[in-house]
A and B are shown apart, each in its own frame.
Chain A
Amino acid sequence: MSGHSLKDPSTLLFQKQWIRRWIFGSYMALVLLGLPLWWRTTSIERLSLPTLRIDSLGGKELHLPLSVAIDAASTGTLSDSLVHRLRSTFESRKEQAPNLYSHLEFSVDSFQGAAPPDTYSVSLSEDAQFPIIQNKHLSVPIHQASKVPDLLISLLTPYETASPPGTFRHLVAKYSPRYRLSFTLLNEDAAAGKVVVGWDVAKMISRWIAPILEQTSELHNFTIESQIRFYAPLAFEPRILSNGEDMVHGLTQEHLKVFVNPAEWTLASGVSNDPVLHFVLFVPSDSHSPLRILNDASQPIFSDVFVLPQWGGIVLLNLPTDVPPKHHLTETELDHVFSSFQTQLRRLIGVSDLPPGVQSADPDRPLTDFQLDTLYRQRAFENAGSSKETLQSIIKLVHQIPNMPVGQDVRDDVRGALSALEVLYAGVWRVPASALQHSSRSLALASRAFFNPGMLALLYFPAEHKYAVYTPLFAPVAVPLVVTLLREVSAWRKDRREKRSAT
């Protein structure tokens, strides 16, 4: 009975040899078709970068022409010796501080009549009392003729303070196309006595800060915010000095470093990723008034203003004893404060001071062309350098880390940065502002390429990890396929042998 109900296996449709081979063949085709897909989806996109072009940047440096012309009509016989002395002063300065001058191609000449365009001209004048700057022209009283070389070189030196002449490079904030300025009025403790409830901040900013921001708009874009806070305790106890009836609370140099109490002061809002420059007006409470800065000999000094490098500036304001308990700071009280803020801002964005005694002819413009151009040149030089370094490190890292992807947008940014840089190196930039534009564009693109989120390298993945991942996935599928393949091949060969022996 049962023998009859069972069919002969060779007559079953699905046991037909050709069907079995078709099924097997489809599986194999699927695997073979899948291989390229698997290869494509697991490999990393690494577009080639313009390595050669970037390598060829290696030896190049940015050179900015800087020509000075001396008015022969006013200097007369002095003209030649001035030219000579200017040249030697520049050379000796360049030897002392190559990183400030090496990118300048300094040339000096004398001229008759009208000053050549895009040069800084110098003349001696008989009726002037002090050196005066008008646009790109420096006019020095004739009795100060010997000071001309030093004055001029100082004017063309980036990051220089007036007195004593020295560099403040370590204070200057890192270049950023955008900054946020945060003005904060801090009452140390409003609950303990007098409190400042208001200040004319908008008026003061437009008087002291806005002109500078306007003049440096080629360099940076500024956003301003301001706030008043009523509780800002110090994290330390100032040193008490007293001579008889007068008592002074003193801040030593160590205190200045830890003056800002970030754990308890809220100084800036975190609304954007732009770097913040802080300007803090600190009003000490009655128990810490008057608060003064001490020198090394523990004596209070005249100044109550200090700068924290790249962070911002702080001004101490001791209220007079006769102010009402709720005080509104007036313009006259704030003038000193905001002029200090202005000085601090100039330091932080890197504007050199005018040499002592030099005046600007145009009181509406707080910064002279000399100062602005010097800053443009320095920033252009720095930006070009760091853009070049960024491009080189992208190439180096891509070469060094084989798992790092390089996408289309990265390549475009690298190419853009490179072109801007090549234009910059090829050109002769008599107008420093346009060199600056190219350099900051190049830096922005290079940084964007470097920080591209797609550039994240895959994690370190050793070969044994790959086997560990793929074996449990593919072994169960691969075993029957391989076994079937072997069986089918042997069956086919057996068939063929039988057929041959039959014929």
Chain B
Amino acid sequence: MHPFPFSTLVFFLCLALHVESTNTDTAREAAVHHFFTRNAPAVPESAHTNNWAVLVCASRYWFNYRHMANALGMYRTVKRLGIPDSNIILMLADDAACNSRNHFPGCVFANRGHALDLYGENIEVDYRGYEVTVENFIRLLTGRVEPSVPRSKRLLTDDRSNIFVYMTGHGGDEFLKFQDSEEISAFDIADAFEQMWQKKRYNEIFFMIDTCQANTMYSKFYSPNILATGSSQLGENSYSYENDEDVGVSVIDSYTHFVLEYLEGINKTGTTSMKDLFDNYDPVAIRSHPGVRSDLFHRPLEQTLITDFFGGVAHAEVITDRPTEHYSHTQGSSDAAIDPMEKDSRPVHELAEVLQTFSDGTGNPVTRLLRAWGSVSIIGLLIARAIFKTKR
């Protein structure tokens, strides 16, 4: 019939769709963002009452010194920010500090100048040496431990606990090696987290992993309230930050180095948010592309404090017997502490969705919908044309 006008029609439709998607994304996102954040309180209190940290160094041997330093660096930071030793589970092969090749016996350094001894005098390794196994790690998370296991090796969390899980070692696409003898897959960790969620063993989890292709490790998570971040994307290596000639090996990994450096500027009462931490990632300096996964996490990252996961207590309440002198400050915050999730889970959830689109750049839900239906209509047009053509 008239092939020319028809193909022009399809062409313009495509063009319009394209322009629409590129033009309105940011404006619409900003509007949606504004709509959902305008009623939010300035700094809402988290619903948790206690913090736990699980720090896993999955490597052993002297040449993996840097992984030990990664975990010990994290250990020092969470302890400094107020998580008690009883709430930190440190899994470490622990063969670096007292290795016969260590020129500085009893010390582990994470920088070239030996400024800070991470091993120090007061360190509690809970799972040591050959106890660092996949099975023990899964048992620790799910709570399925033998009755004889001591308190220090248990994760005694409940539905008011925020847990920080940090893992480091050698890994690949959806797996992490444990001491060169076995490996844990992304599915195993995802299932373990689901079991924790089912038994209400956490309020929120912040999962951080520094290994090659680290971002694949959190791709299988499916339980709610998990915020995850990793050092490098699929097909990408995570590199060490620097070598020390006196120690003779690399002393720390690049990603962990920059995260620790950032956390060093935060104190117990800091109000820096997770978003600030993630915005601080510099792929050029880190030499890999760190990723963030927040679609399971139902709080806006701007309002999620770093101390919600690294700190100690979220709330304190003064008791007074005199009604007139009741300390009113805690009144407002106690409301928030009861059930902020339930109160505004819907907008927060959608906001999280919007926020995520900032990072992966696929447009907001409205545009996505438009684009999907647009392509369907183009295909429909083409099919209709083909049918008419054959009939003729």
Of the candidates B138, B158, B195, B326, the one having the most CB atoms from chain A within 10 angstroms of its own CB is B195
Find the B residue at minimum CB distance from A447: B199
Residue A194 lies at the interface, judged by CB distance under 8 Å to chain B: no
Q: How far is the CB of A138 from chain B (nearest CB, A)?
A: 21
Q: Does B84 contact A (CB under 8 A)?
A: yes
- Whole-angstrom CA separation of A344 from B317 in the bound complex: 10
Binding site for A on B (CB under 8 A): 49-50, 79-80, 82-87, 122, 134-135, 138-139, 142-146, 150-152, 154, 156, 158-160, 184-185, 187-188, 191, 194-195, 198-200, 268-269, 311-323, 325-331, 334, 337-338
In the complex, the answer to whether A270 meets B198 with C-beta atoms within 8 Å is: no
Contacts A257-B316, A311-B50, A460-B185: A452 and B156 contacting too (C-beta < 8 A)?
no
Does A260 interact with chain B (Cβ within 8 Å)? yes
> Is A453 a contact of B194 with CB atoms below 8 Å?
no
**Which residues of A in the span 445-473 have a Cβ within 8 Å of any Cβ on B?**
447, 450-457, 459-460
Question: In the complex the two chains form, is A306's CB within 8 Å of B317's CB?
Answer: yes
CB contact under 8 A between A263 and B79, given known A258-B313, A303-B320: yes
Are B144 and A452 in contact, CB atoms less than 8 angstroms apart? Answer: yes
> Are B320 and A302 in contact, CB atoms less than 8 angstroms apart?
yes
Contact in complex: A460, B188 (CB < 8 Å) = yes
Query: Who on chain A is nearest to B268 by CB?
Result: A258
Per the bound structure, the CA–CA distance linking A164 and B139 in Å amounts to 45
Bitwise interface map of A from 37 to 75 toward B, beta carbon under 8 Å scored 1, else 0: 000000000000000000000000000000000000000
B25 vs chain A, min Cβ distance (A): 37
Does A121 reach chain B (CB closer than 8 Å)? Answer: no
> Contact at A272–B151, with CB atoms within 8 Å?
yes
CB < 8 Å: which of A270, A311, A343 contacts B151?
Answer: A270
| New contact pairs (20) apart from A308-B317, A309-B313, A460-B191, CB-CB < 8 Å | A163-B323, A164-B323, A168-B334, A257-B269, A258-B268, A268-B86, A270-B152, A272-B151, A296-B328, A301-B327, A307-B317, A308-B315, A309-B317, A313-B319, A456-B139, A456-B142, A456-B144, A459-B134, A459-B184, A459-B185
- CB-CB under 8 A from A259, the residues of chain B are 316
State the CA gap A254–B87 with chains docked (Å).
Answer: 21
Is the pair A273, B327 in contact by a Cβ cutoff of 8 Å? no
A377 at the interface (CB under 8 A from B): no
Minimal beta-carbon separation of B29 from chain A (angstroms): 34
Q: Assess the A236–B80 pair: CB atoms within 8 A.
A: no
CA distance A163 to B311 in the complex (A): 31
* Set of chain B residues within 8 Å of A258, measured between Cβ atoms: 82, 268-269, 311-313
CB interface residues, A 248-294, toward B, < 8 Å: 253-260, 262-263, 268, 270-273, 275, 293
Please tell me if the beta carbons of A307 and B188 are within 8 angstroms of each other in the complex. no
Question: Are the CB atoms of A303 and B318 closer together than 8 Å?
Answer: yes
Q: Please, what's the 1-or-0 string for A159-192, where 1 marks a CB less than 8 Å from any CB in chain B?
A: 0001110111111001000000000000000000
Asked if A295 contacts B329 (CB within 8 A), the reply is: yes
24 interchain pairs (CB within 8 A)? Answer: A163-B323, A168-B317, A170-B315, A235-B268, A236-B269, A256-B316, A258-B311, A263-B82, A263-B84, A263-B85, A270-B152, A293-B318, A302-B325, A310-B49, A310-B50, A311-B50, A343-B319, A386-B200, A447-B199, A450-B199, A451-B143, A453-B145, A457-B138, A459-B184
Q: B313–A305 contact, CB under 8 A?
A: no
Closest 10 A-B residue pairs measured CB to CB? A262-B84, A163-B323, A393-B198, A256-B316, A303-B320, A460-B187, A309-B49, A258-B268, A270-B151, A170-B337
Chain A's nearest CB lies how many Å from the CB of B17?
40
Partner pick for B138 among A162, A260, A270, A456, CB 8 A cutoff: A456
Roughly how many angstroms separate A147 CA and B41 CA in the complex, as a whole number?
Answer: 37
- What residues on B are CB-neighbors of A361 within 8 Å? none
Residues of A within 8 A of B199 (CB): 390, 393, 447, 450-451
From A162, A273, A344, A459, give the contact of B156 (CB < 8 A): A273
A451–B102 alpha-carbon span in the complex (Å): 41
Interface residues of A (CB under 8 A from B): 162-164, 166-171, 174, 235-236, 253-260, 262-263, 268, 270-273, 275, 293, 295-296, 301-303, 305-311, 313, 340, 343-344, 347, 356, 386, 389-390, 393, 396-397, 400-401, 447, 450-457, 459-460
* A166 vs B335: C-alpha distance when bound (angstroms): 10
Closest B residue by C-beta to A267: B84
In angstroms, Cα B268 to Cα A256, docked, is 11
- Of the candidates B154, B269, B325, B334, the one whose C-beta lies within 8 Å of that of A303 is B325
Cα separation A261 to B206 with both chains bound (whole Å): 23
- Kindly identify which residue among B188, B194, B312, B314 contacts A262, using a CB–CB cutoff of 8 Å: B312
Cβ–Cβ contact B334 & A166, under 8 A: yes
B268 touches A163 (CB 8 A): no
Q: Which residues of B contact A386 (CB under 8 A)?
A: 200
In the bound complex, how far is the Cα of B145 from the Cα of A302, in angstroms? 47
Interface centre among B80, B84, B156 (most CB of A within 10 A): B84
Cα distance, A302 to B325, chains bound together (Å): 7
**Nearest chain A CB to B244's CB is how many angstroms away?**
27
* CA A302 to CA B318, docked complex, whole Å: 10
| Minimum Cβ distance to chain A for residue B314 (Å) | 7
How far apart are the CA atoms of A170 and B334 in the complex, in Å? Answer: 7
Bound CA–CA A310/B48 (angstroms): 10
What is the CA–CA distance of A235 and B311 in the complex, to the nearest angstrom? 13
* A-chain residues with CB within 8 Å of residue B328 when the two chains form the complex: 295-296
Contact of A307 among B139, B314, B319, B329 (CB under 8 A): B319
Docked complex Cα distance between A256 and B319 (Å): 12
- Point out the residues of chain B lying under 8 angstroms from A271, CB to CB: 151
B313 touches A308 (CB 8 A): yes
Known: A163-B326, A305-B320, A451-B144. A169 touches B338 (CB 8 A): yes
How far in angstroms is the closest Cβ of chain B from A296? 5
Q: How far is the CB of A31 from chain B (nearest CB, A)?
A: 30
Say yes or no: B191 contacts A457, CB within 8 Å: yes
- Contact residues in B for A451 (Cβ distance below 8 Å): 142-145, 199
Closest to A309 in B: B49
In the complex, A164→B324 CA distance in Å? 9
Q: Given known contacts A254-B269, A258-B269, is B188 in contact with A459 (CB within 8 Å)? A: yes
Complex: how many Å from CA A97 to CA B50? 26
Residues of the B chain whose Cβ atoms lie less than 8 Å from the Cβ of A311: 49-50, 313
Closest to B142 in A: A456
Check B49 against A170 for contact (C-beta < 8 Å): yes
Residues of B contacting A166 in the complex (Cβ-Cβ under 8 angstroms)? 331, 334
- Considering the chains assembled together, what is the distance between the CA atoms of A296 and B325 in angstroms? 12
Does B313 contact A257, Cβ atoms closer than 8 Å? yes
Chain B residues contacting A162 (CB-CB under 8 Å) are 323
Residues of B within 8 A of A263 (CB): 79-80, 82, 84-85, 122
Decide: A253 near B80, CB < 8 A? Known: A262-B312, A309-B317, A396-B198.
no
Q: Please measure, in the bound complex, the distance between the C-alpha atom of A166 and the C-alpha atom of B338, giving whole angstroms.
A: 12
Q: How far is the CB of A357 from chain B (nearest CB, A)?
A: 11
In the assembled complex, the CB of B366 is this many whole angstroms from the nearest CB of chain A, namely: 34
B316, closest chain A residue (CB): A256
